C-alpha cells in the first residue's frame, strides 16, 4: 500500500483550498493508498479546510512557530530526526513512497485529474446548519453567496487592483436577489467597517467571528 505525504504550504485561502482539493484528487488515483497531510496551522481557516479532506489517513498539524520538518525525517537508513508531532511516530508516514509539495501543486495540475469534492465532517454538519438557521437562513429557500475584496485583511497587504472601494454594485446585486428573485444571500469575507442594508434574507457572515 503506497504512502503519500503531502505538505500543503500555501497560506492564502484560495491557494490552500486548491492544494487540499488537488491532494484529495491524487489520493483517488490509487485503489488503495494512505494519504498523510502536513500543514502549519498559521491561518484561522486551515484546520477546517484540511478536516474536509475525507480520504486522508492522518492530518499532521504543526503549530505556528514550531519545529521545522526536516527532509531527513524520511531517511530510511538513518532515522535520526525527531519532530514534535505525535502522529509522525505512530502512523508510519516516515516510510512515505511519494512526497508531494511545492510546484507539484501548480493550479493547472487540477486540469489533469478527475476532481473529487471535499467533505465537511459529518459530526459538524448539524451544528453548522443550526448556526446558519439561527442567523436567519431559511433552509427551504435557495441561497446565493457574494464576496468582494475589501482593504484591511490582516494576512495580506494592500492591493488596489484587487480591492473594491465602492460596494454599491454588490449591494444592488444583493437587493435584486432578495427583493426581486426571492432568494437569500450570504456574504463571505473578512470583517470591515462597511454598513450594509438590513434585509430579510441577507446574512453577513463577514461580521461573524470564525465564520469561515
Alpha-carbon gap, residue 122 to 52, rounded angstroms:
10
pLDDT (tens digit, 9 = 90+) per residue, 12-25?
Answer: 888 999 999 999 99
pTM: 0.83
Lowest mean pLDDT among 36-45, 68-77, 139-148: 68-77
The mean pLDDT value of the chain amounts to: 89
Whole-angstrom distance, CA of residue 118 vs CA of residue 85: 25
First to last CA, the chain: 35
Position 81 scores a pLDDT of: 64
pLDDT of 127? 92
Model confidence over 24-65: pLDDT tens digits? 999 999 999 999 999 999 999 999 999 999 999 999 999 998
Beta carbons within 10 angstroms of residue 4's beta carbon: 22
Question: 205-210: which pairs have CB atoms within 8 A and are 24 or more residues apart?
Answer: 205/135, 208/135, 210/44
Over residues 171-183, the mean pLDDT reads 96
Q: What is the pLDDT of residue 197?
A: 87
Amino acid at each position: 500500500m503506497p504512502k503519500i505525504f503531502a505538505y500543503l504550504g500555501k497560506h492564502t485561502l484560495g491557494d490552500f483550498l486548491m492544494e487540499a482539493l488537488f491532494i484529495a484528487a491524487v489520493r483517488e488515483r490509487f485503489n488503495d493508498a494512505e494519504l498523510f497531510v502536513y500543514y502549519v496551522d498559521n491561518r484561522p481557516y486551515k484546520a477546517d479546510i484540511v478536516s474536509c479532506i475525507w480520504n486522508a489517513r492522518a492530518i499532521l498539524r504543526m503549530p505556528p512557530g514550531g519545529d521545522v520538518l526536516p527532509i531527513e525525517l524520511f531517511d530510511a537508513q538513518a532515522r535520526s530526526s525527531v519532530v514534535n508531532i505525535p502522529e509522525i511516530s505512530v502512523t508510519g508516514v516516515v516510510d512515505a513512497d511519494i512526497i508531494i509539495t511545492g510546484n507539484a501543486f501548480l493550479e493547472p495540475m487540477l486540469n489533469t485529474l478527475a476532481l473529487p469534492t471535499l467533505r465537511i465532517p459529518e459530526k459538524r454538519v448539524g451544528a453548522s446548519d443550526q448556526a446558519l438557521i439561527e442567523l436567519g437562513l431559511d433552509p427551504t429557500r435557495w441561497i446565493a453567496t457574494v464576496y468582494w475584496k475589501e482593504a484591511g485583511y490582516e494576512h495580506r497587504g494592500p492591493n488596489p487592483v484587487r480591492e473594491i472601494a465602492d460596494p454599491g454594485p454588490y449591494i444592488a446585486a444583493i437587493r435584486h436577489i432578495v427583493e426581486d428573485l426571492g432568494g437569500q444571500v450570504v456574504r463571505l469575507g473578512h470583517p470591515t467597517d462597511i454598513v450594509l442594508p438590513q434585509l430579510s434574507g441577507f446574512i453577513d457572515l463577514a461580521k461573524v467571528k470564525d465564520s469561515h
